[in-house]
Amino acid sequence: MSSNDPEEARMLKELLETASSLNGYGVLCKTTLSQVKALCEPPPPYSPQQVVAIRTRIARMSQSVFAAMLNVSVSTVQKWESPTAGKPPHGAAVRLLQILESRGIEALIV
């Protein structure tokens, strides 16, 4: 659990401690505690090669369809996939990539 914002990191740490305590008292089940832990952990960074692999092997989409699915521009996806652009995905996009990688495209299709 690391954050560039010290206040955010502190709040996430306190949230995790509270959830652990609630689990210890039997108020919070292990499944919910696992979900809280997953939300408190920052998503991993994604390299251009990883973004391409998620798009082509997991989502099996063109850049334009993938961009529409993630609600970003095609240019943004191109920058994520370019080793020379130096523009890795960040914020909510990283979390969505993490979900795609672990659960597949079905997790985003409602």
Q: Name the pLDDT band for 100 (thresholds 50, 70, 90).
A: very high
Q: Taking a C-beta distance cutoff of 8 angstroms, is the pair 107, 93 a contact?
A: no
**CA angle, residues 65, 71, 76, in degrees to nearest 5:** 80
- The model scores a pTM over 0.95: no
For the beta carbon of residue 31, count every other beta carbon within 10 angstroms.
8
**Average pLDDT, rounded, for the chain:** 92
Q: What is the mean pLDDT of residues 36-56?
A: 93
With tokens 């991993």, the residue in question is: 44
Q: Name the pLDDT band for 110 (thresholds 50, 70, 90).
A: confident
With tokens 């251009």, the residue in question is: 48
Q: In this predicted model, what pLDDT tens digit does every residue of 79-99 receive, in sequence order?
A: 999 999 999 999 899 999 999
Q: Taking a C-beta distance cutoff of 8 angstroms, is the pair 100, 59 a contact?
A: yes
